[in-house]
Amino acid sequence: MFLILPAVYMHANAQQFDKASYYEVMRNGSIEAIDQQSMILLASSDENKDAYTGALLMKKAGLIKGASKKLNVFKEGSKKLEARIEKENKNAELRFLRLMIQEHAPGILNYRSDINADARIVHNSFKNFPPAVQAAVLDYRKQSNTLQQLNF
């Protein structure tokens, strides 16, 4: 019996998870780019792939149509990201992912309570991030009200 996989999955499966590419999609990715990055993560062995996928889903929620669908996708992503942060509360990169989402989440979602704590953790851990994450933080800082207030 042969299993036929969609071309998108096969193409994404051939690619390795790359943080620079991931953060580029988080910065200004389309729904299609988010879906492709999600497929790459699905095939990845990265221990934080659920958190990365969760952040992508939350980003995607802002791009899709329909209030109910937006809310469901956001909640699905939130569960994934928050579950991983609960396991690794001191992981500054996960806190950076959450900070990026929190600063752009509509107030009605009540997803803004950790902004200041996350920003402090990102700031204090900046020198320990891999170069791709440092670049993403510096790029994101240009639009972040919270990170702009901190000296890097």
1-36: pLDDT as tens digits: 444 444 444 444 458 999 999 999 999 999 999 999
pLDDT in tens, 38-61: 999 999 999 999 999 999 999 999
The mean per-residue pLDDT over the stretch 132-143 comes to 96
For 20, 64, 83, 85, the CA distances from 88, given in Å and listed in that order, are 22, 30, 9, 5
The Cα–Cα gap between 84 and 56 comes to 14
83 compared with 152, residue with greater pLDDT:
83
Query: What three-state secondary structure class fits 92?
Result: helix
The Cα–Cα gap between 43 and 14 comes to 9
pLDDT at 132 over 90: yes
pLDDT of residue 14: 54
Q: How confident is the model at residue 76 (pLDDT cuts 50, 70, 90)?
A: very high
The mean per-residue pLDDT over the stretch 139-147 comes to 94
Chain-centre distance for alpha carbon 7:
24
For 7, 35, 43, 95, the CA distances from 3, given in Å and listed in that order, are 12, 21, 17, 38
10 compared with 37, residue with greater pLDDT:
37
For 39, 65, 103, 138, the CA distances from 70, given in Å and listed in that order, are 20, 7, 17, 29
Q: How confident is the model at residue 152 (pLDDT cuts 50, 70, 90)?
A: confident
Q: Is 107 exposed, middle or buried (0-12, 13-18, 19+ CB in 10 A)?
A: exposed
- Cβ(94)–Cβ(88) under 8 Å? yes
The mean per-residue pLDDT over the stretch 112-129 comes to 96
40 compared with 149, residue with greater pLDDT:
40
- Cβ(68)–Cβ(115) under 8 Å? no
